[in-house]
Amino acid sequence: MKIVSIIVDVPAKQTDRAFDYFIPDEYEEIIKPGMRVIVPFGPRKVQGFVVAIQEESDFPQLKEIIEPMDIEPALTNELLLLGDWLTDNTLCYKISAFQAMLPAALKAKYQKKVQVVDGSLFQKASEKIQALFQGVSTLNWEEVKNSGLLSAVQKEVATGSMEVIYEVKGKINKKKKKYVFPNGTTSELQMKKNQLSTRAIKQKEVVDYFIEYPHPVEHRFILSELGISSAIIKGLVEKGILQEKEMEVYRDPYQDRIFEKTEPLTLTKEQDEAITPILGAIEKEMHQVFLLFGVTGSGKTEIYLQSIQEVLNKGKEAIVLVPEISLTPQMVKRFKGRFGNEVAVLHSGLSVGEKYDEWRKIHRKEVRVVVGARSAIFAPFENLGIIIIDEEHESSYKQEENPRYHARDVAIERGIYHHCPVILGSATPSLETFARAQKKVYQLLTLPKRMNNQALPTVNIVDMREELRDGNRSMFSKILFEKLQDRLEKQQQTVLLLNKRGHSSFVMCRDCGYVLNCPHCDISLTYHRFQSQMKCHYCGYETFVPTRCPECNSEHIRYFGTGTQKVEEELGKVLPEARVIRMDVDTTSRKGAHERLLTDFAEGKADILLGTQMIAKGLDFPNITLVGVLTADTMLHLPDFRSSEKTFQLLTQVSGRAGRHKLKGEVVIQTYSPEHYSVVLSGKQDFEQFYQHEMIERKLRAYPPFYFLSLITVQHENLMKVVSVTENITKYVESKLSNEAIILGPVASPIPRINDRYRYQCLIKYKREPKLGICLKAILDQYQQEISSNGLQISIDLNPNIMM
Ligand code: ADP
Ligand code: ZN
Ligand code: ZN
What are residue 166's DSSP bridge partners? 112
Kindly state the average pLDDT of the residues 659-663: 70
pLDDT tens figures, 529-577: 667 788 877 777 888 888 888 888 888 887 766 677 788 888 999 999 9
Beta 369-372 vs 317-321: how paired, if at all?
parallel
Distance 547 CA to ligand 3 centre (A): 21
Q: What's the pLDDT at 300?
A: 95
For residue 452, pLDDT beyond 80: no
Question: From the CB of 271, is ligand 1 less than 6 Å away?
Answer: yes
Nearest CA to ligand 1 atom 23: 267
For residue 172, pLDDT beyond 50: no
What are residue 715's DSSP bridge partners? 759, 793
For residue 368, pLDDT beyond 90: yes
Least confident of 121-125, 381-385, 576-580: 121-125
> Do the Cβ atoms of 462 and 429 come closer than 8 Å?
no
> Do the Cβ atoms of 564 and 544 come closer than 8 Å?
no
User: How many residues would you count in the chain?
Assistant: 804
Question: From the CB of 249, is ligand 1 less than 6 Å away?
Answer: no
Kindly state the average pLDDT of the residues 182-199: 86
Pick the CATH number of 3-108 from 3.10.620.30, 1.10.3720.10, 3.40.1440.60, 3.40.50.300: 3.40.1440.60
pLDDT tens figures, 694-715: 999 999 989 999 999 999 999 9
For residue 443, pLDDT beyond 70: yes
Helix (H, G, I), strand (E, B) or coil at 41: strand
Q: What's the pLDDT at 698?
A: 93
More confident residue, 543 or 729: 729
Question: From the CB of 678, is ligand 1 less than 6 Å away?
Answer: no
pLDDT tens figures, 314-346: 999 999 999 876 677 778 889 999 999 899 999
Question: Where do the DSSP E strands lie in 308-440?
Answer: 317-321, 343-346, 369-372, 384-390, 422-426
Kindly state the average pLDDT of the residues 92-104: 92
Question: From the CB of 451, is ligand 1 less than 6 Å away?
Answer: yes
For residue 178, pLDDT beyond 90: no
Amino acid letter at 343?
V
Tally the C-alpha atoms within 13 A of residue 106's C-alpha that lie toward its C-beta: 24
Kindly state the average pLDDT of the residues 105-133: 80
Question: From the CB of 450, is ligand 1 less than 6 Å away?
Answer: no
Question: From the CB of 426, is ligand 1 less than 6 Å away?
Answer: no
Q: What's the pLDDT at 158?
A: 85
For residue 254, pLDDT beyond 60: no
Kindly state the average pLDDT of the residues 217-237: 85
Question: From the CB of 793, is ligand 1 less than 6 Å away?
Answer: no
For residue 406, pLDDT beyond 70: yes
Residues 458-504+561-698, CATH architecture: 3-Layer(aba) Sandwich (3.40)
Cβ neighbors of 457 (< 8 A, separation 6 or more) are 627, 655, 658, 659, 664, 665, 666, 667
Distance 337 CA to ligand 1 centre (A): 14
Helix residue ranges per DSSP H, 578-637:
593-602
More confident residue, 568 or 635: 568
pLDDT band at 444 (very low <50, low <70, confident <90, very high): very high
Distance CA 405, CA 115 (A): 36
Least confident of 178-182, 254-258, 271-275: 254-258
Q: What's the pLDDT at 746?
A: 92
The structure's pTM equals: 0.80
Cis peptide leading into residue 403 (ω within 30°): yes
CA distances from 484 to 201, 446, 477, 577, 679 (A): 72, 35, 11, 11, 22
* Radius of gyration (C-alpha) of the chain in whole angstroms: 31
Q: What's the pLDDT at 152?
A: 87
CA distances from 553 to 511, 543, 549, 560, 743 (A): 9, 18, 5, 18, 46
Q: What's the pLDDT at 256?
A: 47
| DSSP 8-class letter at 524 | B
Question: From the CB of 613, is ligand 1 less than 6 Å away?
Answer: no
Kindly state the average pLDDT of the residues 234-259: 73
Q: What's the pLDDT at 212?
A: 80
Distance 508 CA to ligand 2 centre (A): 8
More confident residue, 397 or 261: 397
Distance 215 CA to ligand 2 centre (A): 78
Pick the CATH number of 708-797 from 3.30.70.360, 3.40.50.11390, 2.30.110.10, 3.90.79.10: 3.30.70.360
| DSSP 8-class letter at 619 | -
For residue 177, pLDDT beyond 90: no
pLDDT band at 792 (very low <50, low <70, confident <90, very high): very high
Shortest-distance atom of ligand 1 to CA 267: 23
Query: What is the DSSP secondary-structure string of 222-268?
Result: HHHHHT--HHHHHHHHHTTSEEEEEEEE---TTTTSPPPP--PPPPP
More confident residue, 689 or 26: 689
More confident residue, 630 or 79: 79
Pick the CATH number of 269-450 from 2.60.40.420, 3.40.50.300, 3.30.720.200, 3.40.50.620: 3.40.50.300
More confident residue, 146 or 273: 273
CA distances from 616 to 73, 498, 654 (A): 41, 10, 5
Task: Give the chain's end-to-end CA distance (angstroms, integer).
Answer: 53
Ion ligand 2 contact residues with beta carbon within 5 A: 509, 511-512, 514, 549, 551-552, 554
Helix 219-226 vs helix 230-238: angle between axes, to the nearest 10 degrees?
Answer: 120
Cβ neighbors of 624 (< 8 A, separation 6 or more) are 492, 493, 494, 495, 657, 658, 659, 660, 665
For residue 257, pLDDT beyond 80: no
Question: From the CB of 338, is ligand 1 less than 6 Å away?
Answer: no
Ligand number nearest CA of 272 is: 1
Q: What's the pLDDT at 510?
A: 75
For residue 504, pLDDT beyond 70: no
Q: What's the pLDDT at 530?
A: 66
pLDDT band at 446 (very low <50, low <70, confident <90, very high): very high
Question: From the CB of 297, is ligand 1 less than 6 Å away?
Answer: yes
For residue 367, pLDDT beyond 80: yes
Ligand number nearest CA of 512 is: 2
Distance 309 CA to ligand 1 centre (A): 16
Beta 422-426 vs 289-294: how paired, if at all?
parallel
Average pLDDT, the chain: 87
Sign for the pseudo-dihedral over CA of 189, 193, 194, 196 = positive
| CA-closest candidate to residue 403, choices 704, 678, 91, 619 | 91
pLDDT band at 610 (very low <50, low <70, confident <90, very high): very high
Question: Where do the DSSP E strands lie in 9-121?
Answer: 19-22, 36-41, 44-54, 63-64, 67-68, 110-116
Shortest-distance atom of ligand 1 to CA 295: 3
Nearest CA to ligand 1 atom 15: 299
Amino acid letter at 501?
R
CA distances from 357 to 137, 165, 748 (A): 20, 10, 45
Least confident of 139-143, 179-183, 243-247: 243-247
Question: From the CB of 408, is ligand 1 less than 6 Å away?
Answer: no
Ligand number nearest CA of 322 is: 1
Cis peptide leading into residue 746 (ω within 30°): yes
Q: What's the pLDDT at 335?
A: 94
Give the Cα-Cα-Cα angle 131, 135, 136 (nearest 5 degrees): 100
Kindly state the average pLDDT of the residues 9-22: 88
| CA-closest candidate to residue 463, choices 693, 687, 684, 680 | 680
pLDDT tens figures, 505-518: 677 777 777 878 88
> Do the Cβ atoms of 304 and 262 come closer than 8 Å?
no
Question: From the CB of 296, is ligand 1 less than 6 Å away?
Answer: yes
> Do the Cβ atoms of 626 and 487 come closer than 8 Å?
yes
Tally the C-alpha atoms within 13 A of residue 328's C-alpha that lie toward its C-beta: 18
Q: What's the pLDDT at 149?
A: 86
Question: From the CB of 618, is ligand 1 less than 6 Å away?
Answer: no
Q: What is the dihedral of CA 365, 370, 375, 379, to 10 degrees?
A: 20
Distance CA 696, CA 160 (A): 59
- Rounded-to-5 percentages of helix, strand, coil across the chain: 35, 25, 40
Distance CA 621, CA 605 (A): 13
Question: From the CB of 302, is ligand 1 less than 6 Å away?
Answer: yes
Q: What's the pLDDT at 170?
A: 43
